[in-house]
Amino acid sequence: MSSNKHSIHTRAILALAAVSALIGGGSAAVAATKAGSQASGPIESGAGPGWPAALSPSDFVARVDNPWFPLQPGSEYRYTGLKDRSETVDVVRVTDRAKRILGVKTTVVHDVVAVNGRPEEETNDFYAQDRHGNVWYFGEATKTLDSHGHTISTEGSFQAGVNGARAGVLIPGHPKVGLVARQEFSPGQAEDHFRVLDLNAEVSVPFVSSRNALRTREWTPLEPDVLDNKYYVRGIGTVREIAVKGPVERLRLVSFNKG
């Protein structure tokens, strides 16, 4: 799910939080995100080589039902693990809300990350699926919280169509080993990529075990010393994430309630 998705650039976000709070950059980003949210027309793709250079709103369908990443409203995922050696709980909920971006109706997924029992990050992620089953990531509205729950930064927020940001492919409709895509593109801020490594991976977490999981590798050129592996199970979504290079970080699915 989405929380795992943006854990890569969350590390950079936290490092910049104090600066953003002082200069007000986060507020400006949110204002820019609101502007143009109703714009429509050709949609520039940020997915990279091998993917369409542009799309149109008519290329998208109403529901995200990719079996590797189904977003059924009301579904809730609970993950536990470690982040920089601290206990982490991540709760992801698929809402029944929608946000229209560049003429596309996106599904809003709400994500709260708590570290050592304290909420540290709260995010709304925006997804839409095209007619080929590819799930596109249109951006996020994220905020970093202090120990009192107050917002200290919105660094990392971006929206396709605003300030050069483009939608990327979070997960393909028909995964093949070796397939690569950029998941998001906001220059210097959000540049995560994935590569499909395995279509029959073994994975075991408290909620489910499978010998037919999809395994991907994720990275960003903004953090060249960090690599993550992610596992997806059909009909559920993301079940495990583990850093294979860089700071100690891992999450595993402990409960899932389908909406």
Per-residue pLDDT at 236 exceeds 70: yes
**Mean pLDDT along residues 62-86:** 96
Domain ranges of the chain: 2-257
pLDDT band, very low/low/confident/very high, at 189 (cuts 50, 70, 90)? confident
Residues 6+ away with beta carbon under 8 Å from 79: 1, 3, 4, 88, 89, 90, 91, 92, 251, 252, 253, 254
Looking at residue 214, its pLDDT comes to 98
**What is the number of helices (H) and of strands (E) in the chain?**
3, 17
- Say if CB 219 and CB 44 are below 8 A apart: no
Strand pairing report for 104-115 and 158-159: unpaired
- Say if CB 240 and CB 233 are below 8 A apart: no
Give strand pairing partners of 171: 135
Model-level pTM?
Answer: 0.86
Residue 150 gets the label, from left (phi > 0), alpha (psi -120 to 50) or beta, of beta
∠ CA 65-70-76, rounded to 5°: 145
Looking at residue 83, its pLDDT comes to 87
Looking at residue 26, its pLDDT comes to 43
Looking at residue 153, its pLDDT comes to 95
Residues 6+ away with beta carbon under 8 Å from 212: 199, 200, 201, 233, 234
For the segment 76-127, what is each residue's pLDDT rounded down to a tens digit? 999 999 988 899 999 999 999 999 999 999 999 999 999 999 999 999 999 9
